[in-house]
């Protein structure tokens, strides 16, 4: 066997031409970074306009560059652009096509610019766009939750600790808990956007440039608040992507928690909610099944998104300033995480908008498990002046009595209650019903329906 055949066998059929093919494959990023084509072209157009305004290139060259770039964008969006792995990345693919279209002026576009600040710019703009999409998605989800909360401000349901019935709450109050969570997620992304909104363009390879560029002009043209203040940091920074993934992981965790509740609530054992057919599937063998597949898939997405965060943290953890080729591995996991989060938000918004709470089952569950025991203990403290620990002991004895008789606390007679503490009066029955319980929780942030209505108004104004 010849040496060439031995090499081919070692590298395998996919890399039949040997080490050169392997180097091309590992070095190329066009298979995924073509997603940044629009950002790349926007950045190049702004750069060319600035070069012309500063007298670094002629107006005629800038005009040719601008028109050529618009043609390329049209080709990419129309699906007729031919991407080349040999050209490595989106930047070189665009520049090569620009040269085919306009000739010599294309070579002037890269004046006072490096692929280092170019890729940093493209990636930052792409992530910024995803932040905007996530904020839009979260706003829609919060709106759907507010609609559910408004429809169920007086609808009682069980509140849980340890997945055991604890105290009655309202459906509206439970929905508003997720409004608060997703509201914080929304604020996190908005805050991250403000921090990432600095333009790296003009940092060049790492040290800036000797050309008289106007970084304020390009920053403004591309929607940035300001140019990045340090050229080394500008090309080396991927904090913006890490912060996006961090926010995405927290948001996906909230989505996963809610998805888990929907899986439980829609089960035959709970029957708290009915999910629409649009977000459920059937079984291939069991005709009675209606599976909450959308909720289960949302629940699983957090694994991919958390993995993306850990992956990028690991890529960046040992890199000296400024640019290293390792940073080519910064994009794929961010692309995947953004896709996963935006899809999960859309699916959850659809499910929330379509789901129907089963008020009867929620009420029955809310009244089970001696859920108003705390109300009884509070009444003993408030009306009889007992220390809470004594009230807790008396309530425990009454719960044991009700349990032995197979009934709930409101079903005990006054005489039975007075056998445990003779000072209990008939007024106690005013706090034992689930409706009385939720109405009494008027402390700020509590489940009282009037509180919930106030919070809904506050959030609608906030949005």
The DSSP line for 169-202 is: EEHHHHHHHHHHHHHHHHHHHHHHHHHH-EE-TT
Residue among 18, 13, 15, 20 nearest 3 (CA) = 18
Cis bond leading into 242, ω under 30°? Answer: no
Residue 144 backbone dihedrals phi, psi, to 5 degrees = -65, -40
Cα separation, 457 vs 146, whole angstroms: 9
Strand (E) or helix (H) holding 165: strand 164-170
Residues 6 or more apart whose Cβ sits within 8 Å of residue 451? 173, 441, 442, 444, 445
Considering the candidates 58, 74, 283, 324, report the single residue annotated as catalytic: 283
Indicate if 162 belongs to the active site.
Answer: yes
Please state, in angstroms and rounded to a whole number, the distance separating the CA atoms of residues 56 and 292: 60
State the DSSP code for 279: G
Exposure b/e, 278-303, CB count within 10 A at least 16 = b: ebbeeeeeeeeeeebebbeebbebbe
Identify whether 47 is a catalytic site residue.
Answer: no
C-alpha to C-alpha distance for 454 and 435, rounded to whole angstroms: 18
Rounded CA-CA distance 415/428 in Å is: 12
Question: 266 in helix, strand or coil?
Answer: coil
- Tell me how many degrees the CA angle 256-262-265 measures, rounded to the nearest 5: 140
Buried b (16+ CB within 10 A) or exposed e, 318-329: eeeebbeeebbe
In the numeric block, which tokens belong to residue 304?
């991919």
CA atoms within 13 A on the CB side of 244: 35
Catalytic residue (one of 2, 162, 426, 443): 162
Q: Exposure of 351 by Cβ count < 10 A (0-12 exposed, 13-18 middle, 19+ buried)? A: buried
With tokens 């904020």, the residue in question is 135
Long-range CB contacts for residues 213-218, cutoff 8 Å, separation at least 24: 213/50, 213/51, 213/54, 213/56, 213/112, 214/50, 214/53, 214/54, 217/46, 217/49, 217/50, 217/53, 218/43, 218/46, 218/47, 218/50
Which of these, 265, 264, 297, lies nearest to 279 by C-alpha position? 297
Q: Rounded to an integer, what distance in angstroms lies between the CA atom of residue 86 and that of residue 30? A: 9
Catalytic residue list: 162, 283
């Amino acid at each position: 066997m010849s040496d060439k055949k031995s090499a081919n066998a070692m590298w395998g059929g996919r890399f039949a031409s040997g080490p050169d093919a392997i180097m091309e494959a590992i070095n190329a990023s066009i298979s995924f970074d073509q997603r940044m084509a629009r950002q790349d072209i926007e950045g190049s157009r702004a750069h060319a306009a600035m070069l012309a305004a500063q007298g670094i290139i002629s107006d005629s060259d800038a005009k040719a560059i601008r028109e050529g770039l618009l043609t390329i964008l049209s080709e990419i969006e129309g699906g007729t652009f031919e991407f080349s792995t040999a050209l490595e990345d989106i930047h070189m693919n665009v520049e090569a096509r620009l040269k085919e279209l306009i000739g010599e002026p294309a070579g002037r576009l890269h004046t006072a610019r490096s692929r280092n600040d170019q890729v940093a710019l493209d990636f930052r703009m792409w992530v910024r766009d995803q932040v905007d999409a996530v904020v839009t998605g979260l706003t829609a989800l919060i709106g759907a939750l507010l609609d559910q909360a408004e429809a169920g401000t007086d609808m009682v349901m069980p509140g849980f600790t340890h997945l055991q019935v604890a105290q009655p709450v309202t459906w509206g109050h439970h929905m508003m808990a997720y409004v608060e969570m997703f509201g914080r997620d929304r604020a996190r992304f908005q805050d991250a956007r403000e921090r990432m909104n600095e333009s790296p363009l003009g940092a060049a390879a790492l040290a800036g440039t000797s050309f008289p560029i106007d970084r304020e002009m390009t920053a403004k043209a591309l929607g940035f608040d300001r140019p990045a203040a340090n050229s080394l940091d500008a090309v080396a920074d991927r904090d913006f992507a890490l912060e996006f993934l961090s926010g995405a992981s927290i948001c996906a965790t909230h989505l996963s928690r809610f998805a888990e509740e929907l899986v439980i609530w829609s089960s035959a054992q709970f029957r708290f909610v009915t999910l629409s057919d649009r977000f459920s599937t059937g079984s291939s063998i069991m005709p009675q099944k209606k599976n909450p597949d959308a909720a289960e898939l949302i629940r699983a997405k957090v694994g991919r998104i958390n993995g993306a965060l850990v992956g990028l943290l690991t890529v960046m953890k040992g890199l000296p300033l400024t640019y290293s080729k390792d940073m080519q591995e910064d994009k794929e996991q961010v692309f995947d995480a953004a896709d996963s989060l935006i899809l999960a938000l859309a699916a959850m918004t659809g499910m929330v908008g379509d789901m129907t709470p089963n008020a009867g089952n929620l009420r029955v569950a809310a009244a089970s498990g001696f859920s108003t025991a705390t109300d009884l203990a509070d009444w003993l403290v408030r009306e009889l002046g007992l220390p809470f620990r004594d009230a807790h002991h008396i309530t425990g004895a009454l719960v044991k009595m009700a349990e032995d008789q197979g009934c709930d606390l409101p079903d005990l007679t006054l005489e039975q209650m007075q056998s445990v503490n003779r000072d209990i009066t008939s007024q106690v029955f005013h706090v034992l019903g689930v409706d009385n319980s939720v109405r009494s929780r008027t402390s700020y942030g509590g489940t009282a329906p009037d509180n919930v209505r106030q919070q809904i108004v506050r959030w609608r104004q906030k949005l």
